[in-house]
Amino acid sequence: MESIKARLQYETRFLTGKLYAIFSNHLFNFHGSKVVMNGVKKHGISSFAFIVLELFPEEVNKENNKQLLDLEDFYLKSLLPNYNILTEAGSSFGYKHSDISRLKMKASYSEERRVFIGSLNKGKSLSPNTIELMEEAALNRTKAIYSEESLKNMKKNSKAILVYNMDYTVYGEFPSIVDAAKSLGCDQKTIIRALQTPKQILRRRWIVKYV
């Protein structure tokens, strides 16, 4: 089987020249940046173009993955792409009870809430306006804010996390769930839920495992 080389790929919108370091499915399937998703929906796919900046000369594996991230980081720092919320490669490769216990309780509660809300809408046909309002509310949802001391305690009690791409190449290793969430741009409870599932898939982009 022919080796597939990694490529540093950027997308640009013609009218503004805004850049985004991207995988193709971010544009076509909307797996990834919500900023890009909204841009495509607003301006249309024909307003965007792919630009391959450089081909990585080797097949990506655990040993050379850091080199690929360093190369991507160089372009992120040089081009300052507007559509990238995170500015480092490896970021698109972050109570009364104890902090970790409370985090697990919140994750469990969130799952129950999702099932409950899902049952309320089961069999119902939502209007386009309702769907649009729900999407807007989801995009503007405020993330939980933890104090610096709480984050330190969570890091102290948390296990190290190993993150893989969907092809099982190593994306990165993080000393705690807190660090992984910060680098991956998602909430800690999202990672906890993924770790508790059989396939341990996070956001349909990564596979997460305890080290």
How is 123-151 classified by DSSP, letter by letter?
Answer: T----HHHHHHHHHHHHTPPPP---HHHH
Give a yes or no: residue 190 inside a domain.
yes
Q: Where are the alpha helices (DSSP H) in the chain?
A: 24-28, 34-43, 65-79, 99-121, 128-139, 148-157, 177-184, 188-195
Domain count, the chain: 2
* The two structure tokens encoding residue 80: 């300052």
- 42: tokens are 């607003």
Count CB-CB contacts under 10 A for residue 145: 6
What does DSSP assign to residue 90?
T
Give the model's pLDDT for residue 146. 58
User: Quick check: is 124 in a domain?
Assistant: no
Q: Residue 194: inside a domain, yes or no? A: yes
* Last residue of one domain, picked from the residues 44, 62, 79: 79
Residue 115 counted as domain residue:
no
Enter the tokens of residue 211: 């080290």
CA atoms within 13 A on the CB side of 41: 11
Which of 61, 70, 69 is CA-nearest to residue 4? Answer: 61
Provide the residue range defining the domain that includes 169. Answer: 142-211
CB 118 within 8 A of CB 169: no
Tell me, yes or no, whether 155 lies in a domain: yes
Residue 71 CB coordination number (10 Å) = 16
Of 79, 101, 123, which one is at a domain's C-terminal end?
79
Query: Is residue 15 one of the residues assigned to a domain?
Result: yes
Give the CATH number, domain containing residue 165: 1.10.10.10
What is the 8-class DSSP label of residue 199? S
52 located within any domain? yes
Q: Which of 25, 48, 79 is the last residue before a domain boundary?
A: 79
Rounded Cα–Cα distance for residues 147 and 11 (Å): 36
pLDDT tens for the chain, residues 1 to 211: 333 344 444 444 444 444 444 445 555 555 556 666 777 777 776 776 666 666 767 777 777 777 777 777 766 666 666 555 454 555 444 333 344 444 444 554 455 555 554 555 556 565 666 666 666 655 665 555 656 666 666 555 578 888 888 878 777 888 888 888 888 888 888 898 999 999 999 988 889 998 8
Strands 5-13 and 19-21 turn out to be antiparallel
| Residue 179 within any structural domain of the chain | yes
